[in-house]
């Protein structure tokens, strides 16, 4: 095992260029799809019973039972869009993972539902226009660097139809800070997210108070190979910061929810915001 990567590792920098987990790499993408579909945990996606409650809440409490065009940013394997389509919505999903998009397309074709999917990097993708609802689940918005989040919020606003709503599920600031203060740990796997075969994964996490961000870094060792290094940063936001960010993009907070299912126990470390265009405030 090559330990040079550990002994001489560079200091952690939040949102460092080129340091992200390779969600679009084919093998990694396929392993991530398995995590999305697993019913043993709520890490990559939630278990289906929770998603069912979230979709019901969204349809009735936010969209008031009216069907429309829905854009899902970071749609994964289409777990939300497929359920919304069953309620009569016309959905488009964008995601960076080729395996998830392939799965979502296959499911939509088999079901004959009103869903379309495209492989896209949300930092650059054309979002289209005329959407009655645009959604991002499971803290996805927190994983963008602040300048990227600003640009994305502006493009989201431009993609809304008049009277449209944005549904964001965000990581609580306290969760992001606690994540960064977790002690390092290691684990051994026969296979898993980072490799199809046996590997050792070392994880370290760092809270950056000057940036209000946490960076997690993973060192993955396989037999007779140097470590592969992956990093993931998560941005924490205060309510004041979010209000200012969204107002700059032409959006206002129309509602804040401790849960997007109606059951706070489902979302201990997450909360929801519903945004509207500035003119709809």
What are the residue ranges spanned by the domains of the chain? 4-23+175-235, 26-172+239-280
- Taking the C-alpha atoms of residue 276 and residue 166, their distance in angstroms, rounded to an integer, is 6
Burial of 4 (0-12, 13-18, 19+ CB in 10 A): exposed
- Taking the C-alpha atoms of residue 74 and residue 81, their distance in angstroms, rounded to an integer, is 11
pLDDT the model gives residue 106:
97
Q: How many helices (H) and strands (E) does the chain have?
A: 8, 11
Which CATH number fits the domain 26-172+239-280, given the four candidates 3.40.50.150, 3.40.50.720, 3.40.309.10, 3.30.70.270?
3.40.50.150
- Taking the C-alpha atoms of residue 230 and residue 253, their distance in angstroms, rounded to an integer, is 34
pTM, rounded to two decimals = 0.93
Rg (C-alpha) for the chain, rounded Å, is: 19
- Taking the C-alpha atoms of residue 183 and residue 4, their distance in angstroms, rounded to an integer, is 21
pLDDT the model gives residue 262:
63
Between these two residues, 266 and 240, which has the higher pLDDT value?
A: 240
Question: pLDDT band at 265, cuts 50/70/90?
Answer: low
pLDDT the model gives residue 276:
96
Phi, psi of 256 (to 5 degrees): -125, 135
DSSP strand pairing (185-189 vs 270-277): unpaired
Q: Is the dihedral of CA 237, 243, 249, 255 positive or negative?
A: positive
DSSP 195: B
The candidate with the shortest Cα–Cα distance to 271, out of 281, 251, 257, is: 257
91 within 8 A of 81, measured Cβ to Cβ = yes
Mean per-residue pLDDT, 35-42: 93
DSSP 236: -
Quote the Cα angle for 220-122-207, to 5°.
50
Mean per-residue pLDDT, 249-263: 87
Query: 10 Å Cβ neighbour count for 241?
Result: 14
pLDDT the model gives residue 11:
80
pLDDT the model gives residue 60:
94
Q: Which residues contact 226 (CB under 8 A, 6 or more apart)?
A: 2, 4, 5
Question: pLDDT band at 17, cuts 50/70/90?
Answer: confident
């Amino acid at each position: 095992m090559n330990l040079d990567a550990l002994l001489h590792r560079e200091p952690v920098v939040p949102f460092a260029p080129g340091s992200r987990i390779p969600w679009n790499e084919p093998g990694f993408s396929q392993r991530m799809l398995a995590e999305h579909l697993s019913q043993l945990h709520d890490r990559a996606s939630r278990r289906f019973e929770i998603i069912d409650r979230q979709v019901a809440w969204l349809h009735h409490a936010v969209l008031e039972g009216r069907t429309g065009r829905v854009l899902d940013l970071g749609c994964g394997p289409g777990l939300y869009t497929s359920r919304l389509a069953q309620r009569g919505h016309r959905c488009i999903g964008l995601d960076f993972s080729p395996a998830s998009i392939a799965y979502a397309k296959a499911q939509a074709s088999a079901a004959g539902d009103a869903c379309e999917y495209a492989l896209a990097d949300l930092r650059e993708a054309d979002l289209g226009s005329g959407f009655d609802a645009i959604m991002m689940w499971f803290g996805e918005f927190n994983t963008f660097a602040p300048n990227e989040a600003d640009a994305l919020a502006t493009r989201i606003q431009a993609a809304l139809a008049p009277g449209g709503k944005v549904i964001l599920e965000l990581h609580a600031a306290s969760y992001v800070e606690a994540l960064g203060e977790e002690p390092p740990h290691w684990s051994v796997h026969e296979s898993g997210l980072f490799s199809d075969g046996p590997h050792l994964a070392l994880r370290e996490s760092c809270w950056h108070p000057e940036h209000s961000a946490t960076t997690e870094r993973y060192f993955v060792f396989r037999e007779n190979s140097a470590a592969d290094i992956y990093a993931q940063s998560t941005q924490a936001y205060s309510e004041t910061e979010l209000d200012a960010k969204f107002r700059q993009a032409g959006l206002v907070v129309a509602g804040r929810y401790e849960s997007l299912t109606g059951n706070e126990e489902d979302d201990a470390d997450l909360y929801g915001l519903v945004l509207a265009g500035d003119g709809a405030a």
